[in-house]
Every structure is written in C-alpha cells, then in structure tokens.
A and B are shown apart, each in its own frame.
Chain A
Amino acid sequence: GENVEQHPSTLSVQEGDSAVIKCTYSDSASNYFPWYKQELGKGPQLIIDIRSNVGEKKDQRIAVTLNKTAKHFSLHITETQPEDSAVYFCAASGRLAGTASKLTFGTGTRLQVTL
C-alpha cells in the first residue's frame, strides 16, 4: 500500500520567515495530494491540494509543489504569522483493491511561529 513520509517533525520559524514541509510517497499511481492544518483541539482542515497533472499551485501565502518523477511534494508558507502555528499533515491517495482508494497521511509537522 501507499506510504507517506513527512519531514521535519517539528519546525520553528520567526514571524515573517518562510516555512517548508516536505513529503515523499511510494505509490506511483497516487494522483491527489492534499495538505491539512490541525489546530489544537480541532480536526484537520484542508488548506490546499494538488493533483498529479499540475506541478505547482498557490493560494495567497501558501503554495504546494509536486515532483511526480521523484515522488515528492512540498508545502511552502511565506510571511509566516503566529496563527500559522499548528500541526500540518500531507496526504496522498492510495489505491485499495478494485476501484476503492483512500488517503494515507504523513506523520505531521508541528510548526511553531515565534515573535
């Protein structure tokens, strides 16, 4: 099945700096890669996603890049703010038997934005 590795596990940046989180996946058939943000006491919230026919996608201060050949994708947050502090999860669609598929999540990155 699909395996997703995520690095780093913790990341501390100063307010205004950029943050980059990287993920690799194993299933070359995976074609959907979302990123989720989880704040304390809440469920994961989708912040951006990318499909395998696109190399890069941007939404204001966040962007995601995908390298299908190397099977890795990254989340970039620019001009970080204290409210960006949270745990971030990458995920990849994995294939089960038949036509069913499921999301496999990375182990998460705890981002701390300091003043």
Chain B
Amino acid sequence: DSGVTQTPKHLITATGQRVTLRCSPRSGDLSVYWYQQSLDQGLQFLIQYYNGEERAKGNILERFSAQQFPDLHSELNLSSLELGDSALYFCASSVEGRGAGEKLFFGSGTQLSVL
C-alpha cells in the first residue's frame, strides 16, 4: 500500500458528462501529480500541484482542470467527456514536489469508462 488514496476505483459515464476524481496524498507529502494511462499512450503527465498551487503542467486538455485543497487532497475534474477520455487516471504524491530526483508514490488509480 503506497499510502495514496484514490476514489472512486471505477467510474462509468456518458459522453458530454462531467466527473470528479479525488486523491489523498501520503501523510506528509505536499505535492500531488496526475497522470493518465491509456493503452496506446502509456503514462502521460497531466498536472502537478504543490501545497495548493499549480507547479507544472503537462498534456492536460482545456476540458480538464484540477486543484489542491488546504488539506492537501486534490481533485481532477473532467468535463465534456469524449470516448477517447476513457483511461486509467493515477494520482501520485511526493514530499517536496521537485519533480526530478524525487520518489513518486502512486495510488491504485480510477478507471474511467466513457460510453
């Protein structure tokens, strides 16, 4: 168990809908990362937050947004969902959020299916 908690584990929804994925980092970790894993794209970095503020942005679509709250949990919001958004979404956390050279601990992921 990595100590990173993601809910829900599975999410089934329809095209055009909006969903929210939730992540609680390991105790003491200040930084949260979101990754998307699809069969043909591997693990793609979406966005990183550190202590409530956005620190780095990757290949995140404009339809997606995220935030980190004062208690350090994070939410990833996906709107106007398309079939191609179906994927595993992982949250990871680290102590300082320096990115390079810092160990990331991953949650078990949320499997999103858009029908």
Would you call A100 and B104 a contact (CB within 8 A)?
no
**Size of chain A's interface in residues, with CB distance under 8 A?**
27
**Residue-wise interface mask of B (74-106) relative to A, using a CB-CB cutoff of 8 A (1 in contact, 0 not):** 000000000000000010100000111111111
**Is B43 within 8 A of A101, CB to CB?**
no
Residue B56, interface by CB 8 Å: yes
Partner-contacting stretch, out of A17-25, A44-52, A57-65: A44-52
Q: Does A103 contact B (CB under 8 A)?
A: yes
Bitwise, A84-115 to B at CB < 8 A (1) or not (0) is 00000100011110001111111110000000
Q: Tell me whether B58 is interfacial, beta carbon within 8 Å.
A: yes
Q: Are A103 and B104 in touch, CB under 8 angstroms?
A: yes
In the complex, whether B2 has a CB less than 8 A from a CB of chain A is: yes
Q: Does B109 contact A (CB under 8 A)?
A: yes
Q: Which residues of B contact A (CB under 8 A)?
A: 2, 4, 33, 42-43, 45, 48, 55-58, 90, 92, 98-109
In the complex, the 8 A-B pairs of residues with the closest C-beta atoms, listed nearest first: A93-B100, A43-B106, A101-B100, A101-B99, A105-B43, A32-B101, A100-B56, A107-B42
